[in-house]
Structure 1
Amino acid sequence: MGFLQPELPEVDLTEWRKGTRGERIRPMARHWAEVGFGSPVALHLFYVGKILLYVLGAWLIVLSTKGIDGFTAVGDWWSEPIVFQKVVLYTLLFEVLGLGCGFGPLNNRFFPPMGSVLYWLRPGTIRLPPWPVRVPLTKGDTRTPVDAVLYAALLVTTAATLFLDGTGPVPELDTTVGLLPVAPVAVVLGLLAVLGLRDKVIFLAARGEVYATLTVAFLFGADLVVAAKLVFVVIWMGAATSKLNKHFPFVVSTMMSNSPVVRWKPLKRSFFENFPDDLRPGRWSRLVAHGGTAVEMLAPLVLLFSSGGWPTALAAAALVLFHLIILTAIPMGVPLEWNVFMIFGLLSLFVAHADLGLGELANPLPVALLFVVIAGIVIAGNMFPRKISFLPGMRYYAGNWDTTMWCVKPSAAAKIEQGIVAIASMPQAQLERFYGKDRMEIPMFMGYAFRAMNTHGRALFTLVHRAMADGRESDYVITDGERLCSTAVGWNFGDGHMHNEQLIAAMQRRCHFEPGEVRVVLLDAQPIHRQTQQYRLVDAATGEFERGEVRIADMVTRQPWEDDVPVLVHGPLAEQRPEREEGARQHEQDAQ
């Protein structure tokens, strides 16, 4: 891995290009298993620098508060409740500006490295309201000047609130500095709610399920610390619950092989069953996956119900290590500052205020209501993932998300460039600009390999064969829905809800694709109580033309380069089921 140059697979391009898509993914998957994406060291240092700037920004904002003094006297003020409040709002602002999750080249954002603020202050860009039929004044998919003004108001109000002083002594929290005034906090929440109803992407980009929920806790006065503790517990335990599946070990093996800290190739290979021929997760991946899930499930309960001492210290240390493992792996999608925030939050809430528990609540009813709402969303998100984004459903890193693949003809790509108000160019054009036209196929297929290293990739690449018109696959460029979403709406972070039928329809109204020009595979996440995933095949011009399901058992037994997952079609083609079931049985016997 070079300091300035990426370490890409070495292949004979002429011979490599003669292979099928699966054959071309094979050397990329093997390279990923022992190198990762091959990002240069300088790029990882860039992200480390961004984390340090995030921390410095929070530090300086906190020091602007009356009663909090001393740049190096952190021990005197770090546990003040208003410090936690300001870090929450600062991180919300950091994220909704586009500086956090999904920023930069490790999210395939090269020119520019972010969207977000560049889109959401610009009328004419695409917006995606969550319930346009049910919620008044939210219809349409075009950003108006009013939307831009509302977004600007959110930025200004949040920034202004960060520089307010505390309201005075709160004996229950042992503070003389006090808390942030309730009124500006309520305005921030109101603006984010209105914006979220006009465009769900902005709410998701703000990581509303974390920072907005914690900001709601600010309305509870002296009960905010205990309420915030409950929010943290739901985040951890909700994420742990979503990892009780067969997908998560694949996430671990893929993430650890891409870690800049784990550099010894034999160790990277050990995360797989039998490198280079069997790239299913090995024993180490399963151990890390299940061990991490146990920590994330049990340690929060210890923190919540212990009041200090060694139980609190051990549980806090385990969760700090848990987040540091994710942070130092610098995962694709780069949710880096979020992990820094979670570490600070658990120290600020559970360690510094270990004595505050459920028994100290002055007004338990609103706190209980907040808990029921957010826990209910997590439960519903795991049972009905097609209805609820993996972010409010808190299905973090579980390897189980709604995903899409877009099959786009060059003529359709040209229409997108001309018809969509956007800042970033199409993903293929960005890769050509960064890697050169002759070499851009390598990183593009490395992206395919990343998707295929996760279980859903096997199903997606199987289904693209069924999606492309008349089977003429050479007529299309296969584009990950996340990459296209970043071009069209300005932000992406693993949520297929942002590039489903709603975005397809919005783009069709602007681009007027011909039948067959754009075909999209939509694969729903797995409901926690079922062992299948539903899919839909959609033509942008004519609509859905096939739906069905794939079995999880068929996906986890295949290699990243295998695109022959058995498919059960719902509807007129359902008579094909016996052949598919026989194919699945034969593959399981071969795998055994």
Structure 2
Amino acid sequence: MGFLTPTTPQVDPATFLRQPFFDRMRTLATHWVDNGFGTPRIVHVIYLAKLALLYIVGGVLVATLTSDVGSPFDIASWWNEPVVYQKLVVWTVLLESCGVAGSWGPLAGHFKPMTGGITYWVRPGTIRLAPWPTKVPFTGGDRRTVGDVLLYLALLVSLVVALALPGVPSEGLIAAVPDSTGGLLRVGSLVPVMVLLVIIGLRDKVVFLAARAEQYLPILLFSATLGFVDMIIAFKLTILVSWVGAGVSKIGEHFINVIPPMVSNAPFNPFQRLKRAHYRRYPEDLRPSKLAWFMAHVAGTTVEVAIPLVLLLSTNLTITVIAALAMVAFHLFIVSTFPLAVPLEWNILFAFAAVFLFVGFPAGDGYGVLDFSEPWMLPVIAAGLLFFPVLGNFRPDLVSFLPSMRQYAGNWASATWVFAPGAEARLNELDKPARNQVDQLQSMGYEPDDAEITMQMTLAWRSMHSQGRGLNSLLIRHVDDLDARTVREAEFVCNTLVGWNFGDGHLHDEGLIDAVQSRLHFAPGELLVMYVESQPIHRRTQAYRVVDAALGVVERGNWRVSDTVGPQPWLPDGPIPMTVEWTRPGYVPATLNAKG
């Protein structure tokens, strides 16, 4: 990777773009092995600067200077002060809610401007995606109103107020930690935040998920309702469910396909041989190697399940410290790979929480899982924390993969959008602050062909994952004139339409497709979407559907997950086997000459 310039495939752009689609995917996937996205290293430096200065330094200054915990430069005076942890959580929610934490910048498809989020959510008329618009009163429609903007601004103000107000004394805190000086967050400052998150979430699931409410809303709730010792134990259970839920979701056939392209995209890994070692036989066979299996299921899954359980149950301080440091290393490794959703702030907070919660308040000192003040609290809190992860794993169609705690698992609802020639440009007619990514790149000085190749790199990245082989198989089945069309990774399309995405396919399903269609009125065949739902934990198949923006769903079916992990990313042997369950009467695959 260059420091100021991207590392691009060594091809003649014009000639390359005339090649068949799957020939291009092979070239780009092979390029990805050594170079990842090829992003200039200066971009990663910008991310690190944002992480260090805005998030870490900014968060520490805000948390300490607004609380009576000593100097921000004297870490020993505040690292185990509960109010500091609480305020760092609120600080994280504020940055996430503005769209300047996760899913920010070029690695998330925000090239120019680099910020989506707030620039969309303070703008009446932009697309709004309610989770249950036909079931919850006053949430219908898909257009952001002035009222939605005011609710969103009220949320930001409430977060700032919660940060600015000093902590208040707590009898439980003083009894448990007599030398604590910072107190705890005021309950009255947390209630508006929680209420507004719920109300906004019912009106627009994008903002709710962007705030990472599934991670932080329980912490705010426990801060507002529990005594000190119970609150700390509940915090531990919250982070444990996130860790173990993510670990359990990695058991299966998807996750091993995440590791190789993730390692290949690590910008500061100079060892080409190490990158290639994650593939069976570069460049002929890009399926995961035995090393990738070890990294996925031993260094990944086992660590993420076993070590958090050790942290929860250990009463030996030495073992606890070692386990906490292991989780810190785990999260720092994820940061070093710069995954495309760039959840860097989340990983840093969880690394800090591993030390703050389990070393600062060890189980052997009365903060164990059996030390709740009332016996009913453990089963009730555990059941509440597990409800959405369990439901989401059995019915992934009902729950975002984020509340399902399936982060990084590779088992994602995903989609590919396919445009007839010239149709993608019509998305720029929508009321949104950012133009399509290919246009953003050109405004930065990219030649049109270079911008197009950059966007196709995201398709190659998807093809290296299990669901990518399935989606590309649907392209073969449903798009006769594939080489003449514009194909886009749906997550990047979603970012320009609603301002945020974190790998959640539910944000670009029929809700978004219908919102776009109601404004642009594509003709049949002009916009096709290949969509696949996550794999339920008790099934070996994934359900797919093909959507024509003008006609609605035109086909439903499923494929075996085992069939998606065997082929090469460029499907040299053709599409994977599929079971078609339903086809719209009269539907025929879209071509340039025969639509509908």
TM-score band w.r.t. shorter chain: over 0.9
Q: Name 1:534's counterpart in structure 2.
A: 543
d(CA) in 1 for partners of 2:222, 2:478: 46
Of residues 219, 223, 227, the one that matches 1:221 is: 227
Give percent identity, aligned residues only. 42
Q: Name 1:427's counterpart in structure 2.
A: 437
Deviations 1:184-214 (A, max 9, x none): 1011100100000010111100001111121
Of residues 169, 194, 213, the one that matches 1:189 is: 194
SS at match of 2:351: helix
Deviations 1:30-56 (A, max 9, x none): 111122111112111111101102101
Deviation at 1:479, TM superposition (A): 1.3
Deviation at 1:124, TM superposition (A): 0.8
Q: Name 1:267's counterpart in structure 2.
A: 274
Are 1:452 and 2:435 matched, yes or no? Answer: no
d(CA) in 2 for partners of 1:141, 1:14: 39
Q: Name 1:513's counterpart in structure 2.
A: 522
Deviation at 1:111, TM superposition (A): 1.2
Deviation at 1:15, TM superposition (A): 4.3
Say how many residue pairs are matched.
571
d(CA) in 2 for partners of 1:215, 1:56: 22
Distance 1:188 1:363, change over 3 A: farther
d(CA) in 2 for partners of 1:433, 1:441: 13
2:494 is matched by which residue type in structure 1? C
Distance 1:65 1:440, change over 3 A: closer
Deviation at 1:12, TM superposition (A): 3.3
Of residues 330, 334, 338, the one that matches 2:342 is: 334
Of residues 466, 470, 473, the one that matches 1:462 is: 473
Deviations 1:122-175 (A, max 9, x none): 111111111112211111111111110000000001111101112114224413
SS at match of 1:438: helix
Q: Name 2:302's counterpart in structure 1.
A: 294
Deviations 1:513-567 (A, max 9, x none): 1111111111111111111111101111111111111111211011111152122
SS at match of 2:448: coil
Deviation at 1:475, TM superposition (A): 4.3
Are 1:135 and 2:136 matched, yes or no? Answer: yes
The 5 Å alignment of 1:227-246 reads 227-246=234-253
Distance 1:15 1:412, change over 3 A: closer
d(CA) in 1 for partners of 2:422, 2:542: 32
What's the TM-score, normalizing by structure 1?
A: 0.94
Deviation at 1:314, TM superposition (A): 2.0
d(CA) in 1 for partners of 2:7, 2:275: 16
Of residues 534, 557, 560, the one that matches 2:566 is: 557
Distance 1:120 1:494, change over 3 A: same
Q: Name 2:19's counterpart in structure 1.
A: 19
d(CA) in 1 for partners of 2:148, 2:97: 14
d(CA) in 2 for partners of 1:508, 1:297: 43
SS at match of 1:405: strand
SS at match of 2:312: helix
Contact 2:64–2:78 (Cα < 8 Å) also in 1: no
1:318 is matched by which residue type in structure 2? A
Q: Name 1:49's counterpart in structure 2.
A: 49
SS at match of 1:558: coil
SS at match of 1:533: strand
Q: Name 2:212's counterpart in structure 1.
A: 207
Deviations 1:416-462 (A, max 9, x none): 222x2101111222233342213223212211111111111111111
d(CA) in 2 for partners of 1:18, 1:408: 17
2:185 is matched by which residue type in structure 1? L
d(CA) in 2 for partners of 1:165, 1:18: 62
Q: Name 1:584's counterpart in structure 2.
A: none
Deviation at 1:68, TM superposition (A): 1.4
The 5 Å alignment of 1:90-169 reads 90-169=91-170
Distance 1:509 1:300, change over 3 A: same
Q: Name 2:39's counterpart in structure 1.
A: 39
Deviation at 1:465, TM superposition (A): 2.8
Deviation at 1:308, TM superposition (A): 4.1
d(CA) in 2 for partners of 1:117, 1:368: 38
d(CA) in 2 for partners of 1:282, 1:414: 40
Contact 1:119–1:489 (Cα < 8 Å) also in 2: yes
d(CA) in 2 for partners of 1:357, 1:245: 31
SS at match of 1:519: strand
Distance 1:360 1:553, change over 3 A: closer
The 5 Å alignment of 1:251-400 reads 251-291=258-298, 292-354=300-362, 355=365, 356-363=367-374, 365=376, 368-400=379-411
Aligned CA-pair RMSD = 1.7
Q: Name 2:510's counterpart in structure 1.
A: 501
Q: Name 2:7's counterpart in structure 1.
A: 7
d(CA) in 2 for partners of 1:14, 1:81: 58
Q: Name 2:174's counterpart in structure 1.
A: 171
* Larger deviation, residues 553-562 vs 174-183: 174-183
1:201 is matched by which residue type in structure 2? V
Are 1:62 and 2:73 matched, yes or no? Answer: no
Q: Name 1:588's counterpart in structure 2.
A: none
Contact 1:308–1:351 (Cα < 8 Å) also in 2: no
1:63 is matched by which residue type in structure 2? T
* Larger deviation, residues 193-202 vs 473-482: 473-482
* Larger deviation, residues 188-197 vs 168-177: 168-177
Contact 1:467–1:520 (Cα < 8 Å) also in 2: no
d(CA) in 1 for partners of 2:243, 2:369: 18
SS at match of 2:126: coil
Are 1:248 and 2:255 matched, yes or no? Answer: yes
d(CA) in 1 for partners of 2:47, 2:184: 32
Runs of 5+ in structure 2 lacking a partner?
586-596
Contact 2:414–2:505 (Cα < 8 Å) also in 1: yes
Contact 1:431–1:444 (Cα < 8 Å) also in 2: no
d(CA) in 1 for partners of 2:192, 2:562: 48
d(CA) in 2 for partners of 1:297, 1:5: 40
Contact 1:411–1:517 (Cα < 8 Å) also in 2: no
Contact 2:528–2:549 (Cα < 8 Å) also in 1: yes
Contact 2:556–2:583 (Cα < 8 Å) also in 1: no
1:390 is matched by which residue type in structure 2? F
d(CA) in 1 for partners of 2:132, 2:526: 28
1:86 is matched by which residue type in structure 2? K
Deviation at 1:411, TM superposition (A): 4.2
Deviations 1:276-295 (A, max 9, x none): 11101111111111112111
SS at match of 1:440: helix
SS at match of 1:547: strand
* Larger deviation, residues 362-371 vs 426-435: 362-371
Deviations 1:248-283 (A, max 9, x none): 111111101111232211111001111111101111
* Larger deviation, residues 299-308 vs 493-502: 299-308
Distance 1:116 1:257, change over 3 A: same
SS at match of 1:404: strand
Contact 1:406–1:518 (Cα < 8 Å) also in 2: yes
Distance 1:35 1:90, change over 3 A: same
Runs of 5+ in structure 1 lacking a partner?
575-592
d(CA) in 2 for partners of 1:55, 1:364: 37
d(CA) in 2 for partners of 1:533, 1:438: 35
SS at match of 2:531: strand
